[in-house]
Structure 1
């Protein structure tokens, strides 16, 4: 039997690294500026088959912006520590909107739409998997972007190490694994960039919220590490190298890079 999915976009105003990030304007190919949250919403709406698309936030400024462009909002608790907890809070407040919940993080407006179907299918085909998330092998330019940010003390993205069963071994805001010079010089270095997208079963979200934050989760600031420390399998969908750099908006310095890609891809 087919299973339905809904997309939830968690968005918070009080980001430690980039306060007010969801409301940052990004200029597209036509020169028109749209806020990050509107571009994330447009990305989600372009994905076929979604039963619903919801923005989950605790901030009235973000909620007002979403309503301005015609989006749907669920106001969530101020106590939510991350996007996964916010997705779980949506279920607590309105019930599960679908059989599978897809978390499209609000700082990833360049996420390829086609990957959602693959994430949902991974959960459908693997009942033991609690959560699925995508990764793409980094291009040389993405790898250099990550290393440059790391050397400057900025967080430029998250990398993931994957085992032979396509399950995550570890996620980090550092560039992992370590690469010797020859490997780092390849056109596609053997580093996998984690993209800001998750698909969960509602029951896995409930288990997640019932567990305390884990030590590694708190050190890295990566919510998905709680699943690993709980012993819940996280399946990684490996994507072929993309035709563009799927950079997330993590720092103000990322804005021109994202605007360049929007222009190159003709995204208004």
Structure 2
């Protein structure tokens, strides 16, 4: 199964402009840009045929070429990472059995998250789109709650049925946990990992749909599949003691650096 990873990255983020070029200090004291750390996470994945950075920005292109990435320039009209992946595939004339979208704000993504996602797609030929979810630990649930209490839009949560079929994704913390009744039940919440695997047909189909009301309200691209009755398979992955978090807001820089220091 030929598999490619595409890392969509844009400079003009509404919440955090210039985010891909923000520098993050690691345990060795070396600072690297967010896009470089995300690329390094991608190239650590086994069983992948190629890794590309997809961007419409010359600054991100130049930085990516500087650390050795292959870059595909895309349209500046791509409205989200899924659309940018589709545009990159078309512009570069790429063909693959599986396209993995590893978003450029997730440098803490362990290789096994991606490998487990690819394995799940290989094991289920009927699955057209899949995405990982990881059960919250106390620290991650605390990050969710502190962001909400501070009025920040942070990570995403997912709920899914017994077969793993996604029911909904939200920037709110779902399911709701009544602290008076189940204060210690934070592990019922699943953190959605901003990572997708698509069959080429599903990625092409996405391009034919318009954003629906739920996608526009939540700002979550994957809801376009659900609003068009196209199933998404949620693949539960194990944190193995590592904390996963994305760089959503400036406040997340310190969070991520504190995790990198202890890796």
TM tier, shorter chain? over 0.9
Q: Corresponding residue for 2:232? A: 234
Q: Residues 185 and 16 of structure 1: is their aligned pair in 2 closer, same or farther, counting only changes over 3 Å?
A: same
Match of 1:247 in 2: 245
Q: Which runs of 5+ in 1 are unaligned?
A: none
Question: TM-score, structure 1 length as denominator?
Answer: 0.95
Give the one of 162, 165, 185 matched to 1:164: 162
Match of 1:42 in 2: 40
For 1:100 and 1:121, locate their aligned partners in 2 and report how far apart those are by CA, in whole Å: 11
How many Å apart are 1:240 and its aligned residue?
Answer: 2.6
Which residue among 192, 198, 201 is the counterpart of 2:199? Answer: 201
With structure 2 as the length reference, what TM-score do the two structures score?
0.97
Query: Equivalences for 1:49-64 in 2 at 5 Å?
Result: 49-64=47-62
**How far apart are the structure 1 equivalents of 2:90 and 2:226?**
23
1:78 corresponds in structure 2 to 76
Q: 3-state SS of the aligned residue for 1:13?
A: coil
Contact 1:102 1:197 in 2 (8 A): yes
Q: Tell me how far 1:148 sits from its aligned partner.
A: 0.8
* Mapped partners of 2:72, 2:229: distance in 1: 30
- Cα RMSD (Å) of the superposition? 1.1
Q: 2:92 aligns with which of 76, 94, 103?
A: 94
1:2-151 equivalences under 5 Å are: 3-151=1-149
Task: Give yes or no for contact 1:111–1:196 (8 Å, CA) kept in 2.
Answer: no
Q: How far does the alpha carbon of each residue in 1:170-206 deviate from its partner, in whole angstroms, 9 at most, with x for none?
A: 00001001001143424x5210000111100111011
Q: Extract unaligned runs of 5+ from structure 2.
A: none
TM superposition shift of 1:141: 1.0
Give runs of ≥4 in structure 1 deviating > 3 Å.
Answer: none
> Equivalents in 1 of 2:230, 2:124: separation in Å?
13
Contact 1:214 1:229 in 2 (8 A): yes
Give 3-state SS (helix, strand or coil) of 2:86's partner.
helix
Structure 1, 239-248 or 136-145: larger mean CA deviation:
239-248
Deviates more, 1:177-186 or 1:230-239: 177-186
CA distance in 2, matches of 1:202, 1:258: 33
Q: Is the 8 A contact 2:132 2:237 kept in 1?
A: yes
Aligned to 2:217: 219
- Note if contact 1:183-1:190 (Cα within 8 Å) is conserved in structure 2: no
**What displacement does 1:124 show?**
2.3
1:260 aligns with 2:262: no
Aligned to 1:183: 182
SS in structure 1 of the partner of residue 187 of structure 2: coil
Alignment deviations for residues 8-41 of structure 1 (CA, whole Å, 9 cap, x no partner): 0000000011000000000000111000000001
Q: How far apart are the structure 1 equivalents of 2:239 and 2:63?
A: 34
